[in-house]
Structure 1
């Protein structure tokens, strides 16, 4: 009997030791999880429902024309101000030449108007002198009384009337001519300024025959082809500035209570795996959930209703230096973790990313130089 009892006691002892070890492992796991929660996990919220986003700058035709040259293609990096597309400039150049000729003709016409005013002023002086002479002749003959004939007196009266009418007509012509140039010089005459505006407009159209990259980035979605006739507003290609990307992380509504603007964020992209970590910060919270802005928003007030946890996009700005070192692409999947240990302050508010395109004077600088030359050359006497 003692021989059979010993194996049973050994079996119970082995099970007891296994249960003790299992209990110790479970207790250690719970302790580790508790420490992990207390020291780390409760200070972070994470999601893998996050994607890289960025601005897509559309390159569109400003004027009608035929594509003469293409200087960029999909996947190609371009710098700010680089020429991307050239349209046939022949018609635009003809319009510039016509506007320049019109300005020169207008300047000469205004100069002639000033000369005409001076000429009419001299004619008014002559007409006034003739009128005064006729008036003196009439007074002398009228004072002579019976010593002159009635016919001679009538002729003097008629000459006075003619001189007066001539003075009135000449003065009216002078007033009319003076009204066109009164208070102006050739440079600020309304007709000259209108001609200058037409030349500037023609120069603007001419400058639109060369489409440049408004920002530095990478070309995508090129749809234009050589020889294609394009209309104003036709999309030709897109430039994506890869150094100013951000992340839209879609957090559950139950995870947003502690998220604040400025909180640090770590981002890992599926493209590089865990070997590359991006750093950023929260810059804003979306104005609504994704379903609220959907094409067909939910109508929860009708029929049966099932509560579904909603997600709100949180925008995360990334470090430009890290983006240049490890470039990302729009639409890539990422994992986002927000450090919410510091959740004091105001709730997040939306903030648009600032962008500025290359300065483009639309050809006005060249037009100003051309205008100055034309006005100077055609104002010489």
Structure 2
């Protein structure tokens, strides 16, 4: 009986030892797994609060008018520069024609003004040539006056000599010393000298009259030159104003061309058409959103990590991204930047913690992650998709 009890007691001890061994093995494995998991958590930072984001190009017209043609549909892929829609261009063509006609009229007026300016310049050159001619004539007249005066002075001397000879001949004739013919000869010589003197006096006076007339003509010609210069100045000012007018008309024409070009709306980038809200016949106005073009070739991920996680996140670190829409598909990327503040700070209504009922909440900081690989047409990442990024913080 005692042997049976001993055998039972030994069996129980062996079972207890096996249980303890299994327990310790499980404990050790759990500790090892826990250590491995903790090390993994330190080097692999994951969040499920992450979404695909990208650029959205809003398409809006720059001119007002009726839509006459829409060439794209919702979700259609377009390339940069593709024509999306056309606005009625007839009103803008008329504006362009009016601007061109106004410019042509101003250019024609400029041509007329320049022709008039050239004609007036020729008149000025002719007037200046007339002044120069009169000045040359003045010099000749002055020389003639001086010569006539010199000749008159010489003639006055000859006349005085003839008068002296006549008086002496008269005394001698009365005294009977000389015959009558010598007396008459002396008188004839005196009369001749007086006639020459009178003729020279008339020549001097005539030359002086010519000089006076020349001076009057020179003054008149000078006034004509001044008047012609004034005409040219006024014409030059008019041409300057006309140049300003032409510049203004050209600016109006360029604006009309630009506004006409705005009647054709093109795709701002490669991408997919979304939120199309325009149809043929709609009246659109500048700035009115008509559709959006979303390029999916350069999307990125914004992951909202807890503030306790970002300490180990650095730009350039490798990221693996799992997408809820594509189970089993993993995208490679890298951390590009970390936002300067939490998401709550930049929200429309930031939290107000001065009311007295403050509860501490772990904040989240947006981290921008860019994809390394190109676009996969079979696995397109679309804006707003939920993703799970894991940052390798080794």
Shorter-chain TM range is 0.7 to 0.9
> Using the alignment, how far apart are the partners of 1:311 and 1:260 within structure 2?
16
CA contact (8 A) 1:244 1:320 kept: no
> Which consecutive unaligned segments of at least 5 residues does structure 1 have?
342-381
* Alignment partners' CA distance in 2, 1:7 and 1:86: 98
Q: Computing the radius of gyration over CA atoms, which structure comes out larger, 1 or 2?
A: 2
Question: For structure 2, which runs of at least 5 residues remain unmatched after alignment?
Answer: 146-202
Q: Following the alignment from structure 1 to structure 2, what is the Cα–Cα distance between the partners of residues 319 and 72? A: 31
Structure 1 residue 31: Cα displacement: 1.6
Residue 216 (structure 2) pairs with residue 216 (structure 1): no
TM-score, normalised by the number of residues in structure 1: 0.76
By relative contact order (CA 8 Å, sep 6+), the higher-ranking structure is 2
Q: Distance in 1 between matches of 2:385 and 2:336?
A: 20
2:28 corresponds to = 27
Q: Counterparts in 2 of 1:1-381, with a 5 A limit? A: 14=15, 17-38=18-39, 40-128=40-128, 164-181=222-239, 189-273=243-327, 275-324=328-377, 326-341=379-394
Q: Offset at 1:11?
A: 6.1
Is contact 1:243–1:324 with CA below 8 Å preserved after alignment?
no
Q: How many residues are matched?
A: 333
For residues 99-157 of structure 1, the C-alpha deviation after alignment (integer angstroms, 9 at most, x for no partner) is 222232222222222211110012223444566778869x97xx878769x9x999999
What is the CA distance between 1:196 and its match in structure 2? 2.6
How far apart are the structure 2 equivalents of 1:205 and 1:156? 66
**Structure 2 CA distance for aligned equivalents of residues 21 and 129 of structure 1:** 130
Q: CA deviation at 1:170?
A: 2.5
TM-score (norm 2): 0.74
SS of 2:227's partner is helix
Q: CA deviation at 1:242?
A: 0.3
**Bigger mean CA offset, 99-108 vs 262-271:** 99-108
In the TM superposition, residue 320 of structure 1 has moved relative to its aligned partner by 4.3
What is the rounded CA distance, in whole Å, between the counterparts of 2:376 and 2:304 in structure 1?
21
Which whole-Å CA distance do the structure 2 matches of 1:64 and 1:86 have between them? 11
Moved more, 74-83 or 6-15: 6-15
Q: Distance in 1 between matches of 2:122 and 2:46?
A: 92
Q: What CA distance in whole angstroms lies between the structure 2 residues aligned with 1:263 and 1:133?
A: 95
Give SS of 1:328's match: coil
Shift of 1:213: 0.7
Q: 1:302 and 1:215 mapped to 2: Cα distance?
A: 48
